[in-house]
Amino acid sequence: MNSAKQFIAADLGASSGRVMAGGWDGVRFSLREIHRFANGGIQTPEGLRWDLPRIWSHLRDALLKYATEFNGAPGGIGVDAWGVDFGLLDVEGRVLGNPFHYRDKRTHGMAKRFFQRMPECKLFEATGTQAMEINTLFQLCSLMQDGDTTLRQAHTLLMIPDLLLYLLGGEKCAEYSEVSTMQMYSLREKQWASDVLEAASIPHSLLPKVVAPGTVVSNLLPTVLGEDGFYRPVPVIAVASHDTASAVAAVPNMDVNSVFLSSGTWSLMGVEITEPITTPEALKLQFTNEGSADHGVLLLKNITGLWLLQECVRQWQLEGQDLTWDSVVRAASGARALQSFFDPNNPIMQAGEDIPAVIRGYCAETGQSVPQTVGEIARCIFESLSLKYRSVLASLIELTRRDLSMIRVIGGGVMNASLCQMTADACNCTVVAGPVEASALGNVMVQAIATGYLRDMGEGRAAIAMSFLCDVYEPRRSDAWDEAHARFKQLEVD
């Protein structure tokens, strides 16, 4: 099946959403943006929530735009989104209010309370998931502790992308890569972790069947189909619904010697493996195991990423500075190298709204040169990220016993040539950067496999490699980076 086909990929992030038309002509992929919108939490009397009706409205707008701009119905539609957050349905299948936002404060302290029922090491062994208070498990525990009336009415729990698939096609299911973020699923046994559910008093009946990435779960509901201008069935496909899994699926030439680095608001750095690694060492190093698009496992570490620079730019603009992202990157390139660092995962970096002031204060307290200018602070961020990547790379080599010699960068960080070169230099590895729109591409590729246009992910990745140019950054060996990393290690918190 090599005729040209278009697919709709809804790629939803915590700060923005976009809907893309992904084309497959039998040889190459193409991407075209249909619709983009701002996303974020809304503060309500009950806490921080997602505005689900607004997200749904934007998705419907995108479908109408597709019908207007393209001739005929798409070959499929898939949704990928962030992890851990969920919506609840009643027995009639009605959505019970807006889902909570993972940054809502109700989960503070829940992880420690849960560890009294099940030790952290046992929880990690059972699920492979790093214990973070934002995880679905602890969100549910907080609702039960508060006697939440919505939870008492709930009949089915659906993760955010699965919830949107349900609204599109009417079928309730839980996609494998997304449920792996919940800390309630056993990646090793490929089933719900019964011991965890029992410890948390979560009824198994609340959880739907788990489906593999690339499952055609239904067709668009007739009401959606007709209202959006499509006049033949459109497959609704559970892609790799967790955006990280979709992004990694689109990494060209990924192999056992490669590390993926999804660089954006968060940096997610890891490798593909067949079985989860749940050793005490992996727990100590704070790695997590998540489901991949080929029903395998991603061993990765979460690192606070370019959110740090986004917050700095926001603060500088509030102070009246007329800055663009490109001007900040240029200023960083002109600043002095390797002066001061911080661990991006240090909680202090999340503690205040004025991140430039937090960075200056931290550098002063640790006896380092204090960055003052826009360029100095931006360079401090880029170098700190690069040095963190070096530490994570060393941990991955230790855990997997692999010769990891290539870092493959995807996401928005691909466009930051300075950061890519610093990463190559700090890690003494070749860095291959691209594609940028990896999550949407992975979404489209899995749809093409599900509908028979591609055989498997290997064939899809080869097509992506032919479709999009990647930039290569070779390491420039320098003892200065070794010395800088020795200083950085003294500042690391994990």
Residues 6+ apart with CB under 8 A from 381: 308, 309, 312, 332, 344, 359
Q: CB-side exposure of 203: number of CA atoms within 13 Å?
A: 10
Work out whether the CA dihedral 240, 243, 244, 248 comes out positive or negative: positive
The single-letter DSSP state of residue 250 is: T
Residue 286 buriedness (CB in 10 A; 0-12 / 13-18 / 19+): middle
* Amino acid code (one letter) for 118: M
Write the DSSP assignment of 278-295 as a string of letters.
Answer: --HHHHHTT-EEEE-TTS
Q: What residues form DSSP beta bridges with 12?
A: 17
* Amino acid code (one letter) for 486: A
Which residue of the set 162, 228, 243, 425 is catalytic? Answer: 243
**Vertex 493: Cα angle to 490 and 494 (nearest 5):** 115
**Category of 323 on φ-ψ map: left (φ > 0), alpha (ψ -120 to 50) or beta:** beta
Residues 119 and 178 sit within 8 Å (Cβ to Cβ): no
Residues 277 and 410 sit within 8 Å (Cβ to Cβ): no
Torsion of CA 342, 347, 348, 351, to 10 degrees: 140
> Is residue 243 flagged as an active site residue?
yes
> Which tokens hold the place of 330?
């240029």
C-alpha distances (whole Å) from 223 to each of 217, 240, 342 are 17, 26, 53
The residues that are catalytic are 243
